[in-house]
Copies of this chain bind each other. A is one copy, B any other.
Amino acid sequence: MASPTSRVRVHNFTISLDGFGTGADQTLKEPFGHAGTRLMSWAFPTRTFQNMGIHADVPPSVGIDDAFARHWGENIGVEIMGRNKFAPKAGPWPNNGWQGWWGPNPPFHTPVVVLTSHPREPLHMEGGNSFYFFNGTPAEALAYARELAPGTDVRIGGGATTLREFLAADLVDEMHLVVAPIILGRGERLWDGLEKLEERFTIESATSPSGVIHMMFARRG
């Protein structure tokens, strides 16, 4: 369904061994809820994440975790994310000043489409970060994203609900999924409603000394 020159890609999306893409009880201080930093801790030491400004008390790692993480931005011209990746809680915006979790210069450096049923004017920030608030189906959001960045690839940034909807609509061409060996017990499940998803993808897995498992899903044909 995607044109050969614009692929829909997922990178560094991490789930627990029991399939949760984020924990329960998301708050302003805890974007991942009770999961805290446990889902993404594999990524913090990588050179890619340290170059994004993530602080880690170790030399930048350039092993398998970084080999996967570094493709995050290549040829990506726009990201689509769910409302909960931009701000906590559903409902009207907490206040007009809310500019996301990432400080004055977010790490995207592209347009970002935020899926929400609550209208808001576009938010332009430093570093080429512009957030566009959009109400529509995954296919409509994808068309809108491609207008914002013609000819580039589109990254689906999550969270779990957003990714699940794009997978259900068969709009994802490549998915780099990371399985962290933790049992979260509660939160937002990625896999619900995706029975037989594997039939649409070739899947390759690789383990890392950090303990996580990298899985690469590539759409067949």
* Complex contact A215–B181 (CB within 8 A): yes
* Complex contact A18–B185 (CB within 8 A): no
* Complex contact B213–A205 (CB within 8 A): yes
Measured in the bound complex, the distance between the Cα atoms of B191 and A51 in whole Å is 36
Nearest CB on B from A163, distance (A): 13
Given contacts A206-B207, A207-B205, contact A194 B198 (CB under 8 A): no
* A194 contact set on B, CB distance < 8 A: 18, 183, 185
Task: Determine if A87 is an interface residue (Cβ-Cβ < 8 Å).
Answer: no
Nearest CB on B from A57, distance (A): 22
Measured in the bound complex, the distance between the Cα atoms of B18 and A113 in whole Å is 28
Residue among B183, B196, B205, B215 making CB contact with A185, cutoff 8 Å: B196
* A213 contact set on B, CB distance < 8 A: 205, 207, 213
Measured in the bound complex, the distance between the Cα atoms of B143 and A35 in whole Å is 36
- Chain A interface secondary structure, helix, strand, loop or mixed? loop
* A186 contact set on B, CB distance < 8 A: 195
Measured in the bound complex, the distance between the Cα atoms of B205 and A211 in whole Å is 7
* Complex contact B191–A17 (CB within 8 A): yes
Measured in the bound complex, the distance between the Cα atoms of B179 and A192 in whole Å is 17
Annotate A1-31 by CB proximity to B: 1 below 8 A, 0 otherwise. 0000000000000000111000000000000
Task: Determine if A197 is an interface residue (Cβ-Cβ < 8 Å).
Answer: yes
* A192 contact set on B, CB distance < 8 A: 18
Contact residues, A37-57 vs B (CB, 8 A): none
Contact residues, A163-221 vs B (CB, 8 A): 179, 181-186, 191-198, 203, 205-207, 211, 213, 215
* A211 contact set on B, CB distance < 8 A: 203, 205
Measured in the bound complex, the distance between the Cα atoms of B197 and A16 in whole Å is 12
Nearest CB on B from A20, distance (A): 10
Measured in the bound complex, the distance between the Cα atoms of B15 and A191 in whole Å is 14
Q: A17-B191, A181-B215, A207-B213 are in contact. List 13 more A-B contacts (CB 8 A).
A: A18-B19, A19-B191, A181-B198, A181-B205, A182-B196, A183-B198, A184-B195, A185-B191, A185-B196, A203-B211, A205-B207, A205-B211, A206-B207
